Amino acid sequence: MTNEKILIVEDELLIARDLSQKLKGIGYQIVAIVSSGQAALDVIDKNPPDLVLMDIVIKGDRDGIDTTQVINEKFGIPVIYITAYADDATLDRAEKSGAYGYILKPFNDRELHASIKLALHKAQKYKALEYQSTRDALTTLYNRHYFQEALYQERLKAERQSSCLSLLMLDIDFFKRFNDTFGHDAGDYVLREVGALLKRLVRASDIVCRYGGEEMLILIPNCDEIQAEVIANHVRAECQALDPIYQDRHLGQITVSIGVATFPKHARTETALLKSADDALYRAKMEGRNRVLV
Ligand code: GH3
Ligand code: MG
Ligand code: MG
Ligand code: MG
Ligand code: MG
């Protein structure tokens, strides 16, 4: 049984009902039947389906292709067109909209079923690839590549909204000791534990990344340097409280040093912000580690 959720966008009620019956018969759940682009976006926002079947000529000022473009950009949910239109101009627009398929009415049941299965499979694969390409494999934190893009976007947003954006650069103190004393696997375990702790401590809008070997970044939107220093000290204290145990051995305390920098107070570009946090981290190390400096 499949049980994936499908949204039907179709302005001809008889066709929509017939389609809905067919799909239920094969084992899919129908999230809703709607007849306009706006209604489709509203449903997706509240109860995202796994797939959308999209008529091209529908009610409202957005047609199926424009709606698909929005779904593709904002939600990344696969869309298959169900339409009677196969003229060149329509096909050309459809091709550029990021859809996963194009089925002509009247439907052939087997073709419909096959297209849905292929699209769902492709979407799942795409999602897995997207996850892999944005994450660090050891800690599952975001990777450096993803972070660069996020930093750019968040800096633009902060500029637009005249808000602050804080960056915490964290480095585990004497990390080499864990490797040297307990082995590389124990060192890996420490990295995963610290990564998991950071994820637990931050809000959903914050971005945590593994920047290098034992260096991690936390990007906090709407946060000035005073709040950032408080958060950084909380992170530092929680790391120290971890007491990691690996293969029945206490690995000892983890302490970290953290450098803090805030946009726009300390720097106005991504590069300068990273440099400013790195400088503060360097000073924290020089002044004895296990501390936060701004
Ligand atoms: P400091 O307080 O100055 O930061 O000292 P440190 O020992 O933490 O710093 P250093 O940069 O000298 O050592 C970092 C070590 O991290 C060196 C490298 O072998 C190790 N490392 C980097 N990536 C990984 C990893 O993925 N797993 C493990 N186990 N070790 C790693
Ligand atoms: Mg129609
Ligand atoms: Mg180092
Ligand atoms: Mg270190
Ligand atoms: Mg380091």
Q: Provide the ipTM.
A: 0.95
How far are the Cα atoms of 233, 281, 293, 294 from residue 286, in angstroms, in the given order? 17, 9, 11, 14
pLDDT at res. 240: 98
As a whole number, mean pLDDT of residues 27-45 equals: 97
**Using a 6 Å cutoff on CB, does residue 184 contact ligand 1?**
yes
pLDDT exceeds 70 at position 197: yes
Q: Distance between CA atoms of 277 and 261, rounded to whole angstroms?
A: 5
Q: How far is the centre of ligand 4, averaged over its atoms, from the C-alpha of 26 (Å)?
A: 56
Token readout for 277 is: 């946090």
- Give the pLDDT score at 107: 86
Q: 12-25 in b/e burial notation, b at 16+ Cβ within 10 A?
A: eeebbeebbeebee
Provide the pLDDT for residue 254. Answer: 98
Strand-pair partners of 83: 104
What is the mean predicted confidence (pLDDT) over 143-167? 98
d(CA 290, CA 281): 10
Residue 248 scores a pLDDT above 70: yes
Mean pLDDT computed over 104-114: 90
Under a CB-based contact definition with an 8 Å cutoff, are residues 256 and 234 in contact? no
DSSP string, 86-140: --HHHHHHHHTTT-SEEEESSPPHHHHHHHHHHHHHHHHHHHHHHHHHHB-TTT-
Return d(Cα 217, Cα 203) in angstroms, integer. Answer: 14
Between 226 and 98, the more confident residue is 226
Ligand nearest to the CA of 53: 2
Residues 129-141: tens digit of each pLDDT: 999 999 999 999 9
Cα 225 to Cα 264: distance, rounded to the nearest angstrom: 10
Q: Would the pLDDT of 178 be above 70?
A: yes
Q: Please report the pLDDT score of residue 105 as a whole number.
A: 87
pLDDT value, residue 1: 55
Residue of 144, 173, 179, 258 to test ligand 1 pocket, by largest number of atoms within 8 Å of CB: 179
Residue 66: is its pLDDT beyond 90? yes
In terms of DSSP bridges, do strands 79-83 and 245-246 run parallel, antiparallel, or are they unpaired? unpaired
Check if 214 is active-site: yes
- Residue with CA closest to ligand 1 atom 26: 213
Instruction: Give percent of the chain with pLDDT exceeding 90.
Output: 93
Tell me the angle at which helices 184-201 and 175-182 cross, rounded to the nearest 10 degrees: 140
pLDDT greater than 80 at residue 2: no
Q: Is 286 in the pocket of ligand 1 (CB under 6 A)?
A: no
- What pLDDT was estimated at residue 23? 95
Both tokens of residue 60? Answer: 């409202």
Q: Which atom of ligand 1 is nearest to the CA of 187?
A: 29
Catalytic residue among 10, 154, 214, 270: 214
Ligand 1 pocket member 172 (CB < 6 A): yes
Mean pLDDT of 220-226: 98
Ligand 1 near 138 CB (within 6 A): yes
Q: What is the pLDDT of the chain when averaged over all its residues? A: 96
* Pocket of ligand 1 contains residue 185 by CB under 6 Å: no
Strand residues in the chain grouped as ranges (E)? 5-9, 29-34, 51-54, 79-83, 101-104, 165-172, 207-212, 215-221, 245-246, 249-250, 256-263, 292-293
